[in-house]
Structure 1
Amino acid sequence: MSISLSSTSPLLLRRTAAITDEEFRELRDFIYAKCGIWVDEKRKYLFENRFGKRLNELGLKNFGDYLQLLRHAPGRDREMQIVFELVTTNETSLYRDTKQLDGFKTHILLPLLAEQRKANRLEINIWSAGCSSGEEPYTLSIMLHEELGLDLKRWKIQITGCDLSPAMVAKAKSGVYSEYSFKTTPENIKRKYFTTVKDGLKVTPAVAALTSFSVLNLNDVLAVKRIPKSHVVFCRNVIIYFDDAMKKKVVGSFYENLAPGGFLVLGHSETLHKISSAFRPKFISGAVAYQKI
């Protein structure tokens, strides 16, 4: 999942009531307290436009009224789901960042499979935290199919995909994607693991069988604790949008979730520098992964 207030949003095409400095700070702080996403004051005008259309839909005159709705209205829980949709932008694809995935395969996945075989523990758990519309978990499932082949039936594999956005989780569960999602996918993989349906290409049942999807707020410590213990956590292009306090909280949760020696895989622009010293950096083909010490 990539979280941002993108200037390309269609919501920017419609202007509404201006947001005051005080309203901006109150709404920003309210959202931060709920999900840990931090919006810098330099993004105020984008924040204003992103929520402007929602105010029109609700017939509200100003952002103060919207804050009152979020705090006190009977339907505030459902409205918070819409808020999460408005503050997350999901830019992803199958086989995204192939160089990093190749490094993951060579330096993490294959040694992990060999280690599990040697210990006679034919089990792999991977957590995709911020899975967006599901492309990353399905990519990981396909990679395991490719590596294990017919031997896959002997293994117990679970790829857990979680995202803040209910709409993205619903799309992930459907497993149907347009051509845009395949822009970096090898043609042979596309033919082998997807079938043509009315709305695009649908992942095969065998690939879907290794995955599960649910809505999860990484700021919810108790919910995070219910994620199965993982050998690998993928959290690419998510924590860069958190402040340092939230980064430390989330990375601490990943550390607790990981099995001894497990790996945390972040996006290229993300680092644990000054965030955590509980991991050992491991260079994987031009990228860095972090191993639990």
Structure 2
Amino acid sequence: MMVSTEKLSTVTFIKLRDFIYEKSGIFFAENKLYLLENRVGRRLRALDKETYENYLVFITKGGGNREELNFLYNEITINETYFFRYSKQLDFFTKQLLPNLLKECQEQGNNTIRIWSAASSSGEELYTIGMLIKEEINGAMTNWSFDLQGTDISKRILEKAQNGCYTKNSFRGEAPTYYKSKYFTIDGNNFRLKDSIKDMASFGYLNLNDHFKTRSMRDMDFIFCRNVLIYFDEEMKKQVVHALYGVLNHGGYLFLGEAESLHGVSSAFKVEHFRGAFVYKKE
């Protein structure tokens, strides 16, 4: 069957946009109609649906078609990530924040560090943190317990994270060759992460719009929520950041994308700077 070339009408756009917002908190402003049209259009073609209205009925049936929602989330989120992204932030983490926390924990008799990648995508961010920790701790890993958790709204991208197999696209200018040679094995055109790093991390489904489940991610020392707030409107940003603040330990840190800010969103955090990078601290 030929799929209709009918455009996404404003009426259907608003219905679909509001449904996505209700389920995920992801918001499409009116000037993003073309973007939603393009991304939902891929699902129309995959499902052989003739119109956007037909697709709307299909995905909203019974309060929401969960299986199809998973496919749609994968289309409407970018999942753009790579190893050692935002090197200045990572330097802040490894040279100052992590060593300071390890020292404090040692003094308090606590040997557990909990880190959450709140939109982990295909895992490059969390595995990068694992490699940095491995290098920082060196031979003292047995003295510490690192709980590295990654969550995402896309179940398909989580499968890729759990698999730990990547292409050269995941390694860009900021990825040191040293780490690639030490922690990966080459498999044709792919790079397979070694178990010594894979075993440090766990991944699971979590929708940041589900504040009850978000609150279950408690006692975090570091939260990486980079390039996530861009998907939300102002009200949802405030709700998500409030939830993240609630699950951070006192003295814990929140990392956002380099172009993101909590200005106008939350005044609960203290901003700390280090060599061109900044993070948010819960005091």
Give the TM-score range, shorter chain: over 0.9
Shift of residue 136 of structure 1? 0.6
Shift of residue 179 of structure 1? 1.3
Query: What SS class does the counterpart of residue 240 from structure 2 fall into?
Result: helix
Deviations 1:255-287 (A, max 9, x none): 111011111011111111111111111112212
Query: What SS class does the counterpart of residue 272 from structure 1 fall into?
Result: coil
User: AA paired with 1:277?
Assistant: S
CA distance in 2, matches of 1:15, 1:238: 33
Aligned with 2:158 (options 149, 154, 169):
169
> Mind listing any 5+ residue stretches in structure 1 that lack a counterpart?
1-13
CA distance in 2, matches of 1:74, 1:279: 37
Query: Partner residue of 1:18?
Result: 7
Contact 1:239 1:270 in 2 (8 A): yes
CA distance in 1, matches of 2:82, 2:204: 19
Change (3 A) 1:111 1:15: farther
CA distance in 2, matches of 1:216, 1:227: 10
Query: What SS class does the counterpart of residue 16 from structure 1 fall into?
Result: coil
User: AA paired with 1:142?
Assistant: M
CA distance in 2, matches of 1:160, 1:195: 23
Query: Partner residue of 2:112?
Result: 123
Aligned with 2:143 (options 154, 157, 162):
154
**2:21 matched to 1:49?**
no
Aligned with 1:263 (options 243, 246, 253):
253
| Greater relative contact order (CA < 8 Å, ≥ 6 in sequence) | 1
CA distance in 2, matches of 1:177, 1:80: 25
Query: Partner residue of 1:7?
Result: none
Deviations 1:41-70 (A, max 9, x none): 112112112111322332322212211111
Aligned with 1:181 (options 156, 160, 170):
170
CA RMSD of aligned residues (A): 1.7
Deviates more, 1:216-225 or 1:100-109: 100-109
User: AA paired with 1:159?
Assistant: L
Shift of residue 105 of structure 1? 1.9
Query: Partner residue of 1:5?
Result: none
> Mind listing any 5+ residue stretches in structure 2 that lack a counterpart?
none
Aligned with 2:180 (options 182, 187, 190):
190
Shift of residue 228 of structure 1? 4.1
Deviates more, 1:84-93 or 1:65-74: 65-74
Query: Partner residue of 2:278?
Result: 288
Deviates more, 1:195-204 or 1:144-153: 195-204
**2:140 matched to 1:141?**
no
Query: Partner residue of 1:224?
Result: 214
User: AA paired with 1:105?
Assistant: T
Change (3 A) 1:203 1:15: farther
Change (3 A) 1:136 1:15: farther
Query: Partner residue of 1:64?
Result: 53
Contact 1:235 1:264 in 2 (8 A): yes
CA distance in 2, matches of 1:54, 1:142: 37
CA distance in 1, matches of 2:143, 2:221: 18
Query: What SS class does the counterpart of residue 270 from structure 1 fall into?
Result: coil
Query: What SS class does the counterpart of residue 233 from structure 1 fall into?
Result: strand
Residue pairs, 1:69-84, within 5 angstroms: 69-72=58-61, 76-84=65-73
Query: What SS class does the counterpart of residue 6 from structure 2 fall into?
Result: coil
Shift of residue 121 of structure 1? 1.1
CA distance in 1, matches of 2:236, 2:23: 11
Aligned with 2:79 (options 81, 87, 90):
90
